[in-house]
Amino acid sequence: MSDNCVFCRIALRELPTELVHESPNTVAFRDLRPQAPVHVLVIPKPHHPDVATLAAADPALAGEVLSTAAAVAEAEGLRADGFRLIFNTGRYAGQEVFHVHAHVVGGAPLGPMLSS
């Protein structure tokens, strides 16, 4: 738990959210500002600021985040047509919340990976 971290508070169920999946070490919930018909965030329950620090500190947990993201994509019906998995990391990527999270987005054609 990191003080004032909104995603730690979601993991602890201190803030309301639309939960779509929970495992002992991960939580998945719908993004507040969806960018696609399906837009789910997957987080590890322990606080790590971004995917690089998570991968260095706890590679097994990083793997659990990936497998949870795959399970969410399957459960949301995204496997057949595909989906995008995004880890915004740091300032140039526009990361807003510094508790590592995977965006699982899909449900429609997503366009180019980067806006020009």
Give the residue numbers marked as catalytic: 101
CA 93 to CA 77: how far, in whole Å?
A: 27
Residues that bind ligand DGP (CB under 6 A): 6, 17, 29-33, 41, 88, 94-97
**Chain mean position to CA 50:** 11
CA 104 to CA 73: how far, in whole Å?
A: 7
Beta carbon of residue 70, minimum distance to ligand DGP (angstroms, whole number): 19
CA 19 to CA 53: how far, in whole Å?
A: 25
Beta carbon of residue 18, minimum distance to ligand DGP (angstroms, whole number): 7
Identify the bridge partners of residue 39 per DSSP, sorted by sequence position.
105
